[in-house]
Amino acid sequence: MTEELCLANATLVLPGEIRSGSLRVVDGILAAIDSGSAVPKGAVDCGGDFIAPGLIELHTDNLERHIQPRPKVDWPHAAALIAHDAELAGTGITTVFDAMRVGSIPSGNGRYLKYARGLASELLELRAADALKISHFLHLRAEVCSETLLEELAEFGDEDRVGLVSLMDHTPGQRQFRDITKLEAYMRGKHAMSDDDFLQHVAHLKALRDKVGDTHDHGVVAEARRFGAVLASHDDTTVAQVEASAGYGIRLAEFPTTIEAARACHGHGIAVMMGAPNLVRGGSHSGNVAAEELAGLDLLDIVSSDYVPSALLFAAVRLGQIWGDTARGLATVTQAPARAVGLMDRGTLEVGKRADLIRFRLRGDVPALAGVWTKGQRVA
């Protein structure tokens, strides 16, 4: 039975432009886009609200927050996954690459254990049972500074929907934690480490990087190719690090920490992604470069919600205000992330694309969602 939806008298966020119009959805696909404010019989009158593509999230820590809402508290995974899925739908995210850490440290201070394989299996089971509202892929965060990285990556295969693999190196004294005092504050706050515990933790991580870092770097590159996944860098700080990323075939840079690194990324054709909380707050919580500064230099391509799902649409609207171009701002959370990971069936309002849609209006400078659809089905 054919299912149809018509949203009319809307402000459509189209590729490169904003215009009044309507769109028609047939069986989950955009079937027609028309201009004007007419409201056909049976259509939903949007009253001028914005209609944009559903948001595409490439890097979020939100699932990890649900499975461990407090240190040493493990929440039932199925319940966490369903709650995470519903939360994202409620913020306008219709496609997510769920970040899961691979690479564990079962020994020493600050140790952490593997979890990704089991959690991924539970996610895929829920997806197969049609228990989730939005589209889920896997983003494997490959922790180079670890003891079991390659063994954990070997547990994943073609059937696991691994779409993104990021090379993560959190060795103290470089990248995100060039300022070790920032790492110390984080570890003390999250793990209540003593002075001695923290010093031992830092020494252990540095020794691990020296021992296995290069082997892990090359192993991750090979595994990403095996999955057919996009490979991303993380926290590039220097030109040399960006050049290494380019040598690995990386085309997406997550959260470069300096203008120098962001500019080098663009020089190598690498898209720059920054966190929405950084933009909303006006700066990085780690003391690194501000997303707004990169936006002003035309060095910002993609935005991720990072650790605040509701920040994604808010940041895109703010970027539109900074640039004086709403369509360009929204593209950083729709079209640009879709292209970065090769999802050509979504991310824009075009005939033939998936009907992943959001409806919102502005309350002052803040977007207020009024509807979310995945393949034409209302999910929030």
Q: From residue 367, how far is each of 22, 50, 86, 330, 364 by CA, in Å? A: 20, 10, 19, 12, 8
Residue 32 has pLDDT above 70, yes or no: yes
In this predicted model, what pLDDT tens digit does every residue of 5-20 receive, in sequence order? 999 999 999 999 999 9
Q: What is the mean pLDDT of residues 197-205?
A: 70
| Alpha-carbon span 156 to 223, nearest angstrom | 9
| Alpha-carbon span 59 to 85, nearest angstrom | 14
pLDDT the model gives residue 106: 79
Domain-located, residue 356 = no
Residue 184 has pLDDT above 60, yes or no: no
Question: Domain residues for 290?
Answer: 54-347
2 — pLDDT class (breaks 50, 70, 90): confident
Cβ density class 216-235: b for 16+ within 10 Å, e for less: bbebbbebbeebebbbbbbb
pLDDT the model gives residue 71: 79
Domain-located, residue 374 = no
What mean pLDDT is reported for the chain?
A: 92
pLDDT the model gives residue 203: 72
117 — pLDDT class (breaks 50, 70, 90): very high
Domain-located, residue 198 = yes
Query: 0.75 cut: is pTM over it?
Result: yes
Q: What is the mean pLDDT of residues 316-320?
A: 98
Residue 97 has pLDDT above 60, yes or no: yes
Residues ≥6 apart with Cβ < 8 Å to 100: 63, 64, 115, 116, 119, 120, 138, 139, 140, 141
In this predicted model, what pLDDT tens digit does every residue of 226-247 receive, in sequence order? 999 999 999 999 999 999 999 9
Closest CA to 216 of 113, 115, 140, 146: 146
Are 108 and 204 in contact by the 8 Å Cβ rule? The answer is: yes
- Total number of domains in the chain: 1
Least-confidence region, from 154-163, 201-210, 279-288: 201-210
* 158 burial type by CB count under 10 A (0-12 exposed, 13-18 middle, 19+ buried): exposed
- Structure tokens that stand for 130 in this block: 């049609």
Instruction: Provide the CATH number for the domain around residue 260.
Output: 3.20.20.140
Establish how many alpha carbons lie within 13 A of residue 344's alpha carbon, considering only the half-sphere containing its beta carbon: 1
Q: Is pLDDT larger for residue 257 or for residue 207?
A: 257
pLDDT the model gives residue 190: 58
pLDDT the model gives residue 173: 53
Site of tokens 């649900």:
66
pLDDT the model gives residue 180: 64
Domain-located, residue 335 = yes
Are 87 and 128 in contact by the 8 Å Cβ rule? The answer is: no
| Alpha-carbon span 139 to 58, nearest angstrom | 8
Domain-located, residue 341 = yes
Residues ≥6 apart with Cβ < 8 Å to 304: 57, 58, 59, 60, 254, 273, 274, 275, 276, 312, 337
Residues ≥6 apart with Cβ < 8 Å to 220: 142, 144, 149, 153, 165, 167, 231
Domain-located, residue 164 = yes
Residue 189 has pLDDT above 60, yes or no: no
Residues ≥6 apart with Cβ < 8 Å to 345: 353, 354
| Alpha-carbon span 75 to 53, nearest angstrom | 32
pLDDT the model gives residue 288: 87
Domain-located, residue 45 = no
Residue 94 has pLDDT above 80, yes or no: yes
Closest CA to 80 of 110, 55, 115: 115
Coil, strand or helix at 246: helix
- Structure tokens that stand for 12 in this block: 């459509």
Residue 269 has pLDDT above 80, yes or no: yes
63 — pLDDT class (breaks 50, 70, 90): very high
Are 234 and 254 in contact by the 8 Å Cβ rule? The answer is: yes
| Alpha-carbon span 110 to 300, nearest angstrom | 34
Q: From residue 189, how far is each of 183, 192, 194, 199, 282 by CA, in Å? A: 10, 6, 11, 15, 22
* 90 burial type by CB count under 10 A (0-12 exposed, 13-18 middle, 19+ buried): middle
pLDDT the model gives residue 147: 87
Residues ≥6 apart with Cβ < 8 Å to 132: 81, 82, 85, 126
Domain-located, residue 283 = yes
In the chain, the percentage of residues whose pLDDT exceeds 90 is: 80
In the chain, the percentage of residues whose pLDDT exceeds 70 is: 90
Say how far residue 17 (Cα) sits from the centre of its chain: 24
In this predicted model, what pLDDT tens digit does every residue of 334-372 receive, in sequence order? 999 999 999 999 999 999 999 999 999 999 999 999 999
